[in-house]
Chains A and B, each alone.
Chain A
Amino acid sequence: MAEDYVLELEHIRKEYPGVVALKDVTLQLRRGEILGLIGENGAGKSTLIKCCSGAVIPTSGKIRIKKEKDGEVKEFTRMTPQLASENGIAIIYQEFNNVGELSAAENMFLGRPILKKNGIVIDRKAMEAEAAKAFEQLNIKINPRTLVKNLSVGYQQMVEIAKAIQQNAQVLIMDEPSAPLTTNEVESMFKVVELLKSRGVSIIYISHRLEEIFRLSDRIEVIRDGEYVDTLITDKDPATIPHQVDDLIKLMVGREMTQKYPPREPCIRNDEVVLELQHVYGNGDEDISFQIHAGEVLGLGGLVGAGRTEIAEVIFGAKPKESGKIIFMGKEINPKSPRAAIDHGIALLPEDRKRHGALLTNSIKNNISMPIYERISKATVINSKLEYSIAAGYKEDIQIKCPSIHQLVKNLSGGNQQKVILAKWLAAQSKLIIFDEPTRGIDVGAKFEIYKLINDLVEDGVAVLMISSEMEELIGMSDRIIVLAENKIMGELQKDEFNADTIMSYASGVIPENKKEAS
Chain B
Amino acid sequence: MKALKQNAIWLVFIIEIAIFAYFNPRFLSLPNIVNISRQVSYYGIASIGMTFVILIAGIDLSIGSIIALVNVVCAYLMMNMGWNMWLAIIISIAMAILIGILNGWMVASIGIPAIIATFASQTIFRGCAYLLSGGLPIPDLLRYAPEAGLNGNPTLGFFARWTLNRWEIFKAMGDIGLIPICAIIMVLCFAVGSFILNKSYFGRYFYAIGGNEEASELSGIRVNRMKYLIYALSGFFAGLAGIVLLSRSGSAQSTAAIGFEFEVITCVVLGGVSVAGGIGRMSGVIAGVLIIGSLKSGMIMMNVSEYTQMVVQGLVLAVAVGVDCFSKKRQAS
Instruction: Specify the chain A residue showing the minimal Cβ separation from B212.
Output: A359
Q: Is the CB of A382 within 8 A of B199?
A: yes
Q: Which of B199, B208, B214 contacts A370 (CB 8 A)?
A: B208
A519 within 8 A of B: no
B204 within 8 A of A: yes
B278 within 8 A of A: yes
Q: Is the CB of B211 within 8 A of A356?
A: no
Q: Give residues 213-243 of B contacting A (CB, 8 Å).
A: 214-222
A17-B218 in contact given A362-B211, A373-B205 (Cβ < 8 Å): no
Q: Which of A316, A359, A428 contacts B211 (CB 8 A)?
A: A359
Q: Is the CB of B220 within 8 A of A358?
A: no
A380 within 8 A of B: yes
Please choose the segment from A257-265, A299-307, A334-342, A473-481 that sits at the chain B interface, where 4 or more of its residues have CB less than 8 A away. A334-342
Task: Give 1 or 0 for each of A353-377: 1 = CB within 8 Å of chain B CB.
Answer: 0011111111000110111011001
Q: Is the CB of A381 within 8 A of B208?
A: no
> What residues on A are CB-neighbors of B308 within 8 Å?
none
B80 within 8 A of A: no
> What residues on B are CB-neighbors of A297 within 8 Å?
none
Task: Give 1 or 0 for each of B111-126: 1 = CB within 8 Å of chain A CB.
Answer: 0000000000000000
Q: Which of B201, B204, B221, B278 contacts A361 (CB 8 A)?
A: B278
> What residues on A are CB-neighbors of B201 within 8 Å?
373-374, 377, 380, 382
Q: Is the CB of A355 within 8 A of B200?
A: no
> What residues on B are CB-neighbors of A56 within 8 Å?
333
A355-B279 in contact given A338-B220, A428-B220 (Cβ < 8 Å): no
> What residues on B are CB-neighbors of A366 within 8 Å?
204, 207-208
> What residues on A are CB-neighbors of B278 within 8 Å?
361-362
> What residues on A are CB-neighbors of B207 within 8 Å?
361-362, 366
Q: Is the CB of A339 within 8 A of B222?
A: yes
A27 within 8 A of B: no
A57 within 8 A of B: yes
Assembled-state Cα–Cα distance A57/B329 (Å): 12
Q: Say which size band chain A's interface belongs to.
A: 20 to 34
Assembled-state Cα–Cα distance A384/B199 (Å): 8
B202 within 8 A of A: yes
> What residues on A are CB-neighbors of B311 within 8 Å?
none
Q: Is the CB of A370 within 8 A of B212?
A: no
Q: Is the CB of A382 within 8 A of B204?
A: yes
B178 within 8 A of A: no
B30 within 8 A of A: no
Q: Is the CB of A380 within 8 A of B202?
A: yes
A355-B205 in contact given A17-B2, A361-B278, A361-B279 (Cβ < 8 Å): no
Instruction: Specify the chain A residue showing the minimal Cβ separation from B222.
Output: A339
A348 within 8 A of B: yes
Task: Give 1 or 0 for each of A51-65: 1 = CB within 8 Å of chain B CB.
Answer: 000011100000000
A338-B218 in contact given A380-B201, A381-B200 (Cβ < 8 Å): yes
How many chain B residues touch A (Cβ–Cβ < 8 Å)? 26
Assembled-state Cα–Cα distance A51/B219 (Å): 35
A509 within 8 A of B: no
B1 within 8 A of A: yes
> What residues on B are CB-neighbors of A355 within 8 Å?
212, 214-215
Instruction: Specify the chain A residue showing the minimal Cβ separation from B217.
Output: A338
Q: Which of A337, A348, A356, A380 contacts B200 (CB 8 A)?
A: A380
Instruction: Specify the chain A residue showing the minimal Cβ separation from B277.
Output: A361
> What residues on B are CB-neighbors of A316 within 8 Å?
218
Task: Give 1 or 0 for each of B154-182: 1 = CB within 8 Å of chain A CB.
Answer: 00000000000000000000000000000
- Smallest distance from the beta carbon of B210 to chain A beta carbons, Å? 8
Instruction: Specify the chain A residue showing the minimal Cβ separation from B202.
Output: A380
A356-B333 in contact given A17-B2, A361-B278, A370-B204 (Cβ < 8 Å): no
Q: Is the CB of B220 within 8 A of A381?
A: no
Assembled-state Cα–Cα distance A380/B278 (Å): 20
Q: Is the CB of B333 within 8 A of A57?
A: yes
Q: Is the CB of A339 within 8 A of B211?
A: no
> What residues on A are CB-neighbors of B219 within 8 Å?
338, 359, 367, 370-371, 424
Task: Give 1 or 0 for each of B30-59: 1 = CB within 8 Å of chain A CB.
Answer: 000000000000000000000000000000
Assembled-state Cα–Cα distance A348/B278 (Å): 23
Instruction: Specify the chain A residue showing the minimal Cβ separation from B199.
Output: A381
> What residues on A are CB-neighbors of B222 within 8 Å?
337, 339
Residue among B199, B212, B218 with most chain A CB within 10 A? B218
Q: Give residues 280-316 of A contacting B (CB, 8 Å).
A: 316
Q: Give residues 98-114 of B contacting A (CB, 8 Å).
A: none
Task: Give 1 or 0 for each of A308-331: 1 = CB within 8 Å of chain B CB.
Answer: 000000001010000000000000
Q: Which of B1, B211, B220, B333 contacts A371 (CB 8 A)?
A: B220
Q: Is the CB of B214 within 8 A of A356?
A: yes
Residue among B210, B219, B278, B332 with most chain A CB within 10 A? B219
Instruction: Specify the chain B residue showing the minimal Cβ separation from A353.
Output: B215
A36 within 8 A of B: no
A32 within 8 A of B: no
- Smallest distance from the beta carbon of B163 to chain A beta carbons, Å? 31
> What residues on A are CB-neighbors of B208 within 8 Å?
359, 362, 366, 370
A350 within 8 A of B: yes
> What residues on B are CB-neighbors of A342 within 8 Å?
220
Q: Is the CB of A359 within 8 A of B279?
A: no
- Smallest distance from the beta carbon of A204 to chain B beta carbons, Å? 20
Assembled-state Cα–Cα distance A371/B221 (Å): 7
Q: List 10 A-B residue pairs with CB atoms under 8 Å apart, sorted by A's residue number.
A: A17-B2, A55-B333, A318-B217, A359-B219, A361-B212, A362-B208, A362-B211, A377-B200, A377-B201, A382-B200
Q: A55-B332, A371-B219 are in contact. List 7 more A-B contacts (CB 8 A).
A: A318-B218, A338-B219, A339-B221, A355-B215, A356-B218, A361-B210, A369-B204
Leading 4 A-B pairs by shortest Cβ distance: A373-B201, A361-B211, A371-B220, A380-B200
